[in-house]
Amino acid sequence: MKPLPVAPLHVLHVRTAGAAENMALDFLLLQRYPAPAAPRFRHYEWRGPAFTFGFSQKISFVRANLSVGEAYDLCRRPTGGGIVDHRNDWTYMLVLPRGLPLYDERATRSYRIVHECLAASLVALGQPAAVKTEVMTALGTPGLPSVTLAQEGICFQHAELYDVVNTRTGAKIAGAAQKRNKHGLLFQGSIEKSSIGPLDWENFSARFSAALARALGTTAQETPWPELNEDEVSGLIEQYSAPDWIEYR
């Protein structure tokens, strides 16, 4: 039997927000998207210095391993992973709805495919990028001097299997975290800009979303933002801002 055609990958317009709002919108795009069969993708910006950390991480560990010489936003993500510094990154979200073949794949498989699309898009723009496919000792990624981070539980300190790395320096370029539920599979990913050379990010975004669409067997389509329930949006932003969420563990 022939597989059903996949809906176009909806590419949403860029929005700039604080950490709690960015996390809330990502979660609502997983849970409440009005076209639930359509995969959706967005790149977003940060209103100011921000860090996010994985759902299962302990707040005591996070606070002990952040020493920043400026005010910053801090928020627990709905996905897993480690602490991510968003002061110099390119952040994106991808939702694969339930019913797509990639939704049913193991987490390592979906992680690898998304990062293969990302690495290929960087290579097409002249960047020395590749998906790490074997266990090896990776070089540390140069960070911003005003923050001190420990080795474990910190994104971009070293590359794990199927992360994207710089083939010249060994530095980690991109990582991501995932959450799977009955609605779909949510990716929250980050590219550390200091790990690569100058780049036309708008061109990269178009190439990356097109590569993701091809991997899903569909096309990318620029799509206006959906009309989300404003009370639900504001309520979830309040939840993600609250100490009960941030200090959950």
Segment 184-224, tens digit of pLDDT = 999 999 999 999 999 999 999 999 999 999 999 999 999 99
Strand, coil or helix: 46: strand
Using 50, 70 and 90 to split pLDDT, how confident is the model at 138? very low
User: What pLDDT is recorded for position 65?
Assistant: 87
**Strand 50-53 and strand 73-76: pairing?**
parallel
Task: Give 3-state DSSP helix, strand, coil % of the chain, rounded to 5.
Answer: 30, 25, 45
Report yes or no: 102 and 133 within 8 Å, Cβ to Cβ: no
User: What pLDDT is recorded for position 153?
Assistant: 65
Q: Which residue, 194, 208, 200, 202, is CA-closest to 94? A: 208
* CB count in 10 Å sphere of residue 199: 15
Report yes or no: 131 and 222 within 8 Å, Cβ to Cβ: no
As beta bridge partners, residue 85 has 51
User: What pLDDT is recorded for position 156?
Assistant: 58
Span 119-133, average pLDDT: 97
pLDDT reading at 160 higher than 90: no
Cα separation, 66 vs 146, in Å, equals 10
DSSP label of 211: H
Question: Both tokens of residue 229?
Answer: 């329930």
Q: Which residue, 182, 216, 220, is CA-closest to 31? A: 182
Domains and CATH numbers, the chain: 9-246 (3.30.930.10)
Q: Which residue, 97, 106, 125, 121, is CA-closest to 32? A: 97
Span 80-108, average pLDDT: 94
pLDDT reading at 231 higher than 90: yes
Using 50, 70 and 90 to split pLDDT, how confident is the model at 148? very low
User: What pLDDT is recorded for position 44?
Assistant: 98
Using 50, 70 and 90 to split pLDDT, how confident is the model at 80? very high
Sign of the C-alpha dihedral, residues 132, 59, 179, 200? negative
Using 50, 70 and 90 to split pLDDT, how confident is the model at 154? low
User: What pLDDT is recorded for position 136?
Assistant: 45
User: What pLDDT is recorded for position 203?
Assistant: 98
User: What pLDDT is recorded for position 134?
Assistant: 76
pLDDT reading at 105 higher than 60: yes
As beta bridge partners, residue 79 has none
User: What pLDDT is recorded for position 71?
Assistant: 87
Q: Which residue, 83, 61, 101, is CA-closest to 143? A: 83
pLDDT reading at 142 higher than 90: no
User: What pLDDT is recorded for position 159?
Assistant: 80
* CB count in 10 Å sphere of residue 170: 17
Q: Which amino acid is at 17?
A: A
